[in-house]
């Protein structure tokens, strides 16, 4: 766990005989101190550790939020469990697609059975799904065994809600319609000691017609450069060599600050941090990716040679219905500009297939973009209606059979171009960050290249967290087998 020393000092200096402060983060420090007292008392009474489990659904932003939740739980005295059969179980939810909601409700049903056999177990649901009132009402009505429900805008108050939950037998529900501030100076438990995400913006202003994110994450809010750089410096001093700058649309960074700062300017400053070896960012929007950002990436070797540039569709007609604010040819021109200026860059994308009104001519346009750009990889999704979005109300929904057929066409084109792009790297020696022991063969280490491709190399756990020079020996389509040189 990465403990923010200033916050920990606030916790240690807390006087629980005084009322909880109103200012943040001192208020959360007071509640964390109280949570520690409650937890330690129960551990002593039961003669065993108290366990927790956080199950995360969705994007990198959710993963980062889970690290904050885990940081609070560990700091409060809980120990991580290997399964959902734990004293404190949290589902951090995604609501981008309706089936994500259904998965959570299915897991909640099973968690209810676990709770019957585990006295004192607490169950919490947080994240994007519970920003929708209908889901909260469903939990209140059909999952009354849930103890805590809180949303995305007030996650920083988790220590406070944890106390309420531990001291109450009723359901605690805290959902805000909007954020009142950004509070980041809290404990964080990183999944990897050598790499970390750092939030630079929260929310989104784009309102793509298929996307629920602006409604559940709110409008764009930027952290100040000073806060971001300070956090990055602390991470590096704690052993981090790679940082990913996170936002729903990183290219919009800084527009809402009192003293404006562009994303290109922020990237330039992050590159100056001594000891930081690699920088990534996720996710840029094609309509906002500036020449300045491309130049900063080109001129700074610390920045990964990987740009994720969501396409969604290659059809001008569908792009307009999606409210994406660019055309097919504008997207291709941007991708070509990136390739011209950064020849070794990897461009990956997102594609939605089966959007309302989409037909084979539209799919032809999407495949044309795939072939002309030559994506290194693409995350291809079949469109599903998301209640609360304009697209869900469009009358010309595509039948599932047609969606599946069109999806197969796009996937085939993606695989062909991606495999060709990967094979050209065979025999090259490139730098890779060793991330973990290979899940299928413990005699191999899985490492990640600057271009975001994985390479599996013979090795041992002592290599994890180190930058390696790796020869790419054998291409397996979307990954390599290699040798450390």
Is the per-residue pLDDT at 242 higher than 90? yes
Could you confirm whether domain 192-304 is CATH 3.30.750.210?
A: yes
**5-174 belongs to which homologous superfamily?**
Methylthiotransferase, N-terminal domain (3.40.50.12160)
Q: Which tokens sit at 92? A: 């951090």
- Give the whole-angstrom CA distance, residue 475 versus residue 469: 17
142-164 residue pLDDT tens:
999 999 999 998 999 999 999 99
User: To which residue do tokens 């916790």 refer?
Assistant: 11
- Mean predicted lDDT score pLDDT of the chain: 93
pLDDT band at 191, cuts 50/70/90? confident
Q: Pairing relation of β-strands 479-484 and 467-475? A: antiparallel
pTM for this model (two decimals): 0.84
8 A C-beta contact, residue 124 and residue 146: yes
- Residue 345: what pLDDT? 96
- Give the whole-angstrom CA distance, residue 338 versus residue 253: 20
220-243 average pLDDT score: 94
- Give the whole-angstrom CA distance, residue 144 versus residue 146: 5
Q: Pairing relation of β-strands 346-353 and 242-246? A: unpaired
In the chain, where are the structural domains located? 5-174, 192-304, 308-424, 429-484
Q: Give the CATH architecture of domain 308-424.
A: 2-Layer Sandwich (3.30)
416-455 residue pLDDT tens:
999 999 999 999 999 999 999 999 999 999 999 999 999 9
Nearest to 99 by CA among 360, 381, 380: 381
Report how far Cα 17 is from the mean position of its chain's Cα atoms. Answer: 39
Could you tell me where the DSSP H helices lie in 80-224?
Answer: 98-116, 133-142, 158-166, 213-217
- Give the whole-angstrom CA distance, residue 285 versus residue 291: 13
- Give the whole-angstrom CA distance, residue 177 versus residue 215: 9
Is the per-residue pLDDT at 96 higher than 80? no
- Residue 1: what pLDDT? 44
Is the per-residue pLDDT at 51 higher than 60? yes
pLDDT band at 70, cuts 50/70/90? very high
292-301 residue pLDDT tens:
999 999 999 9
Rounded to 5 degrees, φ, ψ at 325 are 65, 30
Is the per-residue pLDDT at 181 higher than 80? no
Give first-to-last CA distance, the chain, whole Å.
33
Could you confirm whether domain 429-484 is CATH 2.60.120.260?
A: no
Is the per-residue pLDDT at 215 higher than 90? no
Helix (H) or strand (E) holding 9, with range, is helix 5-12
Q: Is the dihedral of CA 382, 383, 385, 386 positive or negative?
A: positive
399-412 average pLDDT score: 96
For 142, other C-beta atoms within 10 Å of its C-beta total: 13
333 Cβ contact list (under 8 Å, min separation 6): none
8 A C-beta contact, residue 157 and residue 29: no
- Residue 313: what pLDDT? 98
Looking at the chain, how many residues does it have?
485
Q: What DSSP character marks residue 343?
A: T
Q: Which range, 12-26, 57-71, 200-214, 368-382, is most confident?
A: 368-382
Quick check: helix, strand or coil at residue 226? Answer: helix
- Give the whole-angstrom CA distance, residue 373 versus residue 70: 40
Rounded to 5 degrees, φ, ψ at 405 are -65, -45
8 A C-beta contact, residue 358 and residue 315: yes
Name 196's bridge partners.
243
pLDDT band at 328, cuts 50/70/90? very high
133-138 average pLDDT score: 92
192-304 and 429-484: identical CATH topology: no
pLDDT band at 306, cuts 50/70/90? very high
Please work out, in degrees rounded to the nearest 5, the angle formed at the alpha carbon of residue 141 by the alpha carbons of 93 and 147.
Answer: 55
Is the per-residue pLDDT at 283 higher than 80? yes
Helix (H) or strand (E) holding 437, with range, is strand 429-437
pLDDT band at 4, cuts 50/70/90? low
Name 148's bridge partners.
124, 172
Rounded to 5 degrees, φ, ψ at 10 are -60, -40
**Portion of the chain with pLDDT greater than 90, in percent:** 82
8 A C-beta contact, residue 218 and residue 178: yes
DSSP result, 388-419 = TSGGGG-S-PPPHHHHHHHHHHHHHHHHHHHH
User: To which residue do tokens 């676990």 refer?
Assistant: 114
- Give the whole-angstrom CA distance, residue 207 versus residue 391: 11
């Amino acid at each position: 766990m990465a403990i923010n020393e200033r916050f920990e000092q606030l916790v240690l200096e807390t006087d629980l005989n005084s009322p909880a402060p109103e200012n943040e983060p001192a208020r959360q420090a007071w509640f964390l101190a109280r949570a520690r007292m409650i937890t330690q008392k129960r551990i002593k009474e039961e003669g065993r550790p108290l366990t927790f489990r956080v199950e995360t659904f969705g994007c990198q932003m959710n993963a980062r939020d889970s690290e904050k939740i885990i940081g609070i739980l560990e700091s409060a005295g809980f120990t991580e469990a290997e399964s959902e059969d734990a004293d404190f179980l949290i589902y951090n939810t995604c609501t981008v697609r309706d089936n994500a909601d259904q998965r959570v409700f299915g897991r909640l049903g099973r968690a209810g059975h676990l709770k019957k056999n585990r006295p004192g177990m607490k169950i919490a649901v947080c994240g994007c799904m519970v920003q929708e009132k209908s889901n909260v009402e469903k939990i209140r009505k059909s999952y009354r065994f849930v103890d805590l429900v809180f949303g995305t805008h007030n996650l920083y108050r988790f220590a406070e809600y944890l106390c309420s939950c531990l001291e109450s037998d009723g359901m605690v529900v805290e959902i805000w319609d909007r954020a009142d501030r950004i509070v980041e100076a809290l404990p964080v438990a990183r999944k990897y000691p050598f790499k970390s995400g750092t939030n630079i913006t929260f929310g989104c202003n784009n309102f793509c017609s298929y996307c629920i994110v602006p409604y559940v994450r709110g409008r764009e809010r930027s952290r100040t450069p000073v806060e971001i750089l300070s956090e990055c410096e602390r991470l590096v001093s704690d052993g981090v060599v790679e940082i990913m700058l996170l936002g729903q649309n990183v290219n919009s960074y800084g527009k809402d600050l009192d003293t404006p700062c562009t994303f290109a300017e922020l990237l330039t400053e992050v590159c100056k941090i001594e000891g930081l070896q690699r920088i990534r960012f996720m996710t840029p929007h094609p309509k906002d990716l500036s020449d300045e950002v491309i130049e900063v990436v080109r001129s700074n070797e610390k920045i990964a040679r990987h740009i994720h540039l969501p396409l969604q569709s290659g059809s001008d007609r569908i792009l307009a219905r999606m409210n994406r604010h660019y055309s097919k040819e504008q997207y291709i021109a941007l991708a070509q500009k990136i390739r011209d200026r950064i020849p070794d860059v990897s461009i990956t994308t997102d594609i939605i297939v089966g959007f309302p009104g989409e037909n084979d001519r539209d799919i032809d346009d999407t495949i044309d973009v795939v072939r002309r750009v030559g994506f290194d990889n693409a995350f291809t999704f079949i469109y599903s209606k998301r209640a609360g979005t304009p697209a869900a109300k469009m009358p010309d929904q595509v039948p599932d059979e047609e969606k599946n057929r069109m999806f197969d066409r796009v996937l085939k084109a993606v695989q062909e171009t991606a495999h060709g792009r990967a094979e050209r790297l065979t025999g090259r020696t490139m730098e890779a960050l060793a991330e973990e022991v290979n899940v299928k063969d413990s005699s191999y280490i899985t490492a990640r290249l600057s271009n975001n491709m994985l390479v599996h190399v013979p090795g041992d756990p002592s290599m994890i967290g180190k930058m390696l020079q790796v020869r790419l020996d054998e291409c397996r389509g979307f990954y390599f087998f290699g040798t450390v040189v």
